[in-house]
Amino acid sequence: MARAREFDFLVLGSGIAGLSFALKVAHKGRVAVLTKREAKESNTAYAQGGIASVLSRDDSFGSHIEDTLRAGAGLCKTEVVEAVVKEGPARIQDLLSWGVRFARRKGAEEGFDLTREGGHSARRVLHWTDFTGAEIERALLESARNHRSIRIFENYMGVNLILGKGPARGEVLGAYALETATGRVHTFLARATLLATGGAGKVYLYTTNPDVATGDGVAMASRAGARVANLEFFQFHPTCLYHPQAKNFLISEALRGEGAVLRDRRGRAFMQRFHPLKELAPRDIVARAIDTVMKESGDESVLLDITHKPRAWLKERFPGIYATCLSYGIDLTRQPIPVVPAAHYSCGGVCVDLRGRTSLPRLYAAGETSHTGLHGANRLASNSLLEGLVFGHRAAQHCLASARPLPRGLKVPEWNPGSARDSNEAVMVAHNWDEIRRFMWNYVGIVRSRRRLERALRRIRVLQEEIHEYYWNFLLTGDLVELRNIAAVAGLIVRCAMARRESRGLHYNLDYPERDDRRWGRDTVLCRKG
């Protein structure tokens, strides 16, 4: 077993939150960035639409704040919304300084080519055609690789946080990480640790998220005793490509922002039945509307129609979506795109304050892993990249001002596999993984009920016991670590959903269909003791 690796700052995750934090602190110490696959494989890289910020004279901070609060259905923290919105332009300048490109208007009128998405009252979304996240990931990763104080460890997966004892009792001193290529577990120590591991969409059977989105940061933080909140608010993106050979391909909300119309399989537009803003209504309303229409008709998808737009413009504005759809035999310039809702974004996560601090000393969180209070009960489109950027910055500023050296004479035990052996029952991992994702989709999806949630809770308890026994009896693999984490996060989602006896934002319960501000106008907070 190799001796512990010691850094000043430890980052788990290589998306916008983790890399922006790393770049901000690197001039003051050595940074380790751990990423469970290749560094470019992150939720950030798959963000098509863009990043929201007030950059136009026709827009205002007040309008962006109001839109965010409205979408959040009464659970946003106003001070957080104001901070993120008002810091947005400065953080966009950070991206530009790191080499990120955004689309510009053509012709005599200068400036960014801002687009509009659902829930926004103005054009304020910066984009790079429909590859915005990939462009941000490219530039940040290039900057990080070129920084002499940042070291990126690819194919290293966080297993558990390391908690101090004695004078450092309860402090997070780093993390154990599995090197998936060798099966060895390494010890990483740091003055401060940032969880930026992204989302948990793989908890559900159908998701727009990449395979890496297994809720690792939330699971590790919860096991260590950190507070987590609002995991019942899981956003289902309304429009994921429906095709038997397609996997996890998102059809950006920007299409609806540019005039795409949702139709049933008979060609009839239906969003006017559900909201005055029609296709530009908040995502929770659009997703439930599609779900309702599909259940009414028995159809397996609905249609997204943008064929009324010029062919040349569509190919230039949405080149990635156009090419992908065409590869499946769908020409979006001539025919509607079949779409279904899919699990997309977790509005809950590890509780942090305005500085990105969790409830555990030395531990920070940013991006989708965290719960800042920005999104409330329903995230406004394209606010997520902005949140990761702002809280990556804020966590970095606090670390630079206050991160203390590790305790002198610190002794951290190496990872002890005990009597664990190689598994000859890997089929159990695959079967448990599939079962969790299926019952989460069926019982804890877009529409819930008390009976469905109770059934999900009974099943997740049994599975967690089976997984716990398997986990300690066999040597770790990446699949086993991820299974343990999705089981943990699934249990947290179910418990949060059962605790909230109302319907609000992304959480809709048939047994409690009304919103109840008096009793439930607050966060759902869970904390594991001991």
Q: Which of 71, 387, 118 is nearest to 253 (CA)?
A: 118
Domain at 57, CATH number: 3.50.50.60
Of 27-31, 251-255, 268-272, 482-486, the least confident: 251-255
CA 136 remoteness from chain centre? 16
CA distance 412 to 434: 36
Q: Taking all residues of the chain, what is their mean pLDDT, rounded to a whole number?
A: 92
How far apart CA 342 and CA 234 sit, in angstroms, is 10
pLDDT tens for 334-383 read 999 999 999 999 999 999 999 999 999 999 999 999 999 999 999 998 99
Candidates 191, 227, 283, 484; catalytic one? 283
- End-to-end distance of the chain based on CA atoms, in angstroms? 28
Whether residue 418 lies inside any domain: the answer is no
pLDDT tens per residue, range 120-177:
999 999 999 878 999 999 999 999 999 999 999 999 999 999 999 888 888 999 999 9
Instruction: Evaluate whether residue 362 is within a structural domain.
Output: yes
Q: What share of the chain is helix, strand, coil (3-state, %, to 5)?
A: 40, 20, 40
The answer on 351 and 376 residing in a single domain is yes
Q: Do residue 309 and residue 375 come from a single domain?
A: no
Look at residue 218 and tell me if it is in a domain: yes
The answer to whether residues 445 and 310 belong to one domain is no
Categorize the per-residue pLDDT at 452 as very low, low, confident or very high, splitting at 50, 70 and 90.
Answer: very high
**Cα 139 from chain centroid (whole Å):** 20
Asked if 278 and 354 sit in the same domain, the reply is no
334 and 356 together in one domain = no
**Amino acid found at 346:** S
pLDDT per position as a tens digit, 211-230: 999 999 999 999 999 999 99
- Domain match, 187 and 138 both: yes
Residue 381 has what pLDDT?
86
The enclosing domain of 309 has a CATH number of 3.90.700.10
Is residue 376 domain-resident? yes
DSSP 8-class letter at 159: E
Residue 409 within any structural domain of the chain: no
Among residues 341, 358, 379, the one where a domain terminates is 341
The pLDDT of residue 425 is 65
pLDDT in tens, 404-438: 998 888 888 888 776 566 666 667 788 888 999 99
| Residues 189, 322 within the same domain | no
Q: Which of 110-114, 143-147, 313-317, 458-462 comes out lowest in average pLDDT?
A: 110-114
| Predicted confidence band of residue 530 (pLDDT cuts 50, 70, 90) | very low
Q: How many H-runs (helices) and E-runs (strands) does the chain carry?
A: 14, 17
pTM comes to 0.90
Out of 12-16, 165-169, 241-245, 477-481, pick the least confident.
Answer: 165-169
- Of 294, 320, 341, which residue constitutes the final position of a domain? 341
CA distances from 501 to 56, 95, 233, 460, 488 (A): 41, 41, 13, 20, 22
Is residue 410 included in any domain, yes or no? no
58 and 14 within one domain: yes
Percentage of residues in the chain having pLDDT higher than 90: 77
Based on the domain organization, do 212 and 335 belong to the same domain?
Answer: no
Residue 73 sits in the same domain as residue 127:
yes
Give the pLDDT band (50/70/90) at residue 1.
Answer: very low
User: Is 247 inside a domain boundary?
Assistant: no
In a domain, 237, yes or no: no
> Looking at the 3D structure of the chain, how many domains does it have?
3
Among the candidates 402, 418, 447, a domain finishes at: 402
Window from 259-268, 275-284, 483-492, 504-513 with minimum mean pLDDT: 275-284
Q: Has 268 been annotated as catalytic?
A: no
Q: In CATH, what number is assigned to the domain containing residue 498?
A: 1.20.58.100
Instruction: Calculate what percentage of the chain has a pLDDT beyond 70.
Output: 97
pLDDT of residue 428: 75
Residue 144 and residue 76 share a domain: yes
Comparing 63-67, 114-118, 228-232, 467-471, the range with the smallest average pLDDT is: 467-471
Q: What is the pLDDT of residue 130?
A: 78
Domain of 310 in residue numbering reads as 254-341
Residue 171 sits in the same domain as residue 287: no
DSSP state letter for 164: P
pLDDT at 205: 87
Residue 108 reports pLDDT greater than 80: no
Q: Is the pLDDT confidence value at 200 over 90?
A: yes
